[in-house]
Amino acid sequence: MKTMLHTPVRMSRLRKGWSSLCLLTLSVLAACLPSGLRGQALPPQLFSEMDGIHFLDDGSSVPIWGYGWVTDGYITLPGPLLTYNEGQSVDLYFTNPSPESHTIHLHGLDVDQANDGVPATSFLVPLNGEAVYSFVADQAGTFLYHCHVTTTLHLTMGMYGMILVKRPDQTLFEGGPSYTDDVPLLFSDLEVATNLDPVGSFPFHDIRPDVFMINGKQGSQLEAEDQRVWAAPGDTLALRLGSMAYSRVRCHFPPELHAVCHMSDGRALPEPFAVDSLDIFPGERFTVLVAPEEGFEGSVSCDYWNMIDPGIEDTQEIHFGALPSSVDDLGDFDTMLGVGYPNPANSWYAPAVGAAGPDSGFQGEVVVTDLQGRECFRGRLEQGRLDVSDWPEGTYVARCGNRAPTRFMVFH
């Protein structure tokens, strides 16, 4: 099973919406895609493009290159989060309608040479080319993917994303600790001048980032409700920290999070250790479990250190919010666009949580499709709930009127 979650923030629980999607990464419109990319049949397929737009915190936009799902029809920065189950044999389908060749390097998955995504040792995917990267996700953990063509440039232009390999029993690794939920957090940066003029950015040795991001967001964008990390009392969250930056990122964990580092680069550490600050170099990943104290509303500060001339270039914040202890206490939340619950779902799913909780949800027509765009449901809901108890496991997209769609998993 491939699981494709579009927005690489908190994957489940409340407020995982696309409400700000249109403000964040409006890129290639589906209408601009080659017809072969629309309505694509199985299997789910990544594509690459080189004419995306990414909005910065100050409202300006920069061109990006990147990856997206063919069925979505647009690219994002970072690319879609890829999640697999430990032990899963994966065929990752990729097509490239963009004018330059690209690849996918599966960073840290120790795939064989043929699937390594390095042009000189593996293969290029040229204009209108298609490829399948095959591997076994044999180690649970946090990994990355990125284009390995003219990597210095293609990476800073935005061609990267995160991969999670998970265990069905919701433990980090065999014999490892259990946790409530994953929180993918991908650090990256870019140099605006390079993105505005990729060709003119040569020579590449003096690319100096001036925009610093977490999951493609910065500054006040990270304060948005769908970007916050939400924790209910008793939650233990797995912060999946990875870096595609050109900077060293130092994360500072408040004591109220009780942060413990358990993994790095997709492997369990010999001894987990309590962590108050953690350096993440380009390409590294760490898994840190946090157990926020009840009601904690604070942030993890992330300093971006210049790798060449030591000094802090910027600081971004991972904001935490406190959830009530049960969904019955949701009444004080504002009605959100594109907020569904729960995710993953095994019996029912409320695709549009209302101000008084999931049972007061959307009253209009709901349309649900799978990732191939095939309609799975159309109609009105009883008490705002969609019965998914007999649905096949997979990822679905629910649309409720004019609200932003929500993406959810069915997992039995």
Partner 1 sequence: MFKRGALLGLYAVFGGLSMGAFHAQDVPDTLWLQLNEAVLGGDSMPALRFCEGATWDSLNYSFHMAADVPQSLVVHNGDTVDHAFALNVEGWEPVALVAGTATELTLPSLSAGSYCYGLDSERGKVLGGAGIIMVGNDDLPHFHWNLGDWEPARLASVAEGGTVEEGAPYVPRQFTVNDRTFPNTMNDPYGYVQIGVGTSCYITIANQGSMDHVLHFHGFHVEVLQASKHPERVGWIKDTVPFLQGEVTVVRLDAFQPGMYPVHNHNLIAVTNAGFYPGGMITHLDIQP
Residue with tokens 């130092």: 250
Q: Which of 59, 175, 206, 334 binds partner 1 (CB under 8 A)?
A: 206
Name the segment binding partner 1 (CB under 8 A); options: 24-32, 80-88, 205-213, 354-362. Answer: 205-213
Q: Which of 233, 283, 324, 344 binds partner 1 (CB under 8 A)?
A: 283
Min separation Cβ 267 and partner 1, Å: 4
Size of the site for partner 1 (CB under 8 A): 44
Helices and strands (DSSP H and E) totals, the chain? 3, 26
Min separation Cβ 339 and partner 1, Å: 36
Name the segment binding partner 1 (CB under 8 A); options: 23-31, 307-315, 332-340, 374-382. Answer: 307-315
Q: Which of 22, 114, 127, 355 binds partner 1 (CB under 8 A)?
A: 114
Min separation Cβ 114 and partner 1, Å: 4
**8 A C-beta contact, residue 142 and residue 285:** yes
Min separation Cβ 170 and partner 1, Å: 23
Min separation Cβ 10 and partner 1, Å: 25
Rounded Cα distance between 146 and 151, Å, is 8
Residue with tokens 């390995």: 148
Q: Is 342 left (phi over 0), alpha (psi -120 to 50) or beta?
A: beta
Name the segment binding partner 1 (CB under 8 A); options: 95-103, 164-172, 197-205, 320-328. Answer: 197-205
Annotate each residue in 247-276 with x if it binds partner 1 (CB under 8 A) or - if it does not, as one string.
-x---------------xxxx-xx--x---
Close Cβ partners of 35 (under 8 Å, ≥ 6 residues apart): none
Rounded Cα distance between 222 and 168, Å, is 30
Rounded Cα distance between 215 and 218, Å, is 8
Cα-Cα-Cα-Cα torsion 17, 22, 23, 26, nearest 10 degrees, comes to: 130
Annotate each residue in 86-105 with x if it binds partner 1 (CB under 8 A) or - if it does not, as one string.
-------------------x
**Is 207 near partner 1 (CB under 8 A)?**
yes
Rounded Cα distance between 237 and 231, Å, is 8
Name the segment binding partner 1 (CB under 8 A); options: 30-38, 151-159, 161-169, 179-187. Answer: 151-159
Give the tokens for residue 175: 């014999």
**Is 129 near partner 1 (CB under 8 A)?**
no
Rounded Cα distance between 178 and 183, Å, is 14
Closer to partner 1 by CB, 21 or 157: give it.
Answer: 157
Which of 346, 333, 350 minimizes the C-alpha distance to 390?
A: 346
**8 A C-beta contact, residue 112 and residue 90:** no
List residues near partner 1 by CB under 8 A: 105, 107-108, 110-114, 116, 118, 120-123, 150-153, 155-156, 202-207, 246, 248, 264-267, 269-270, 273, 279, 281-285, 307-309
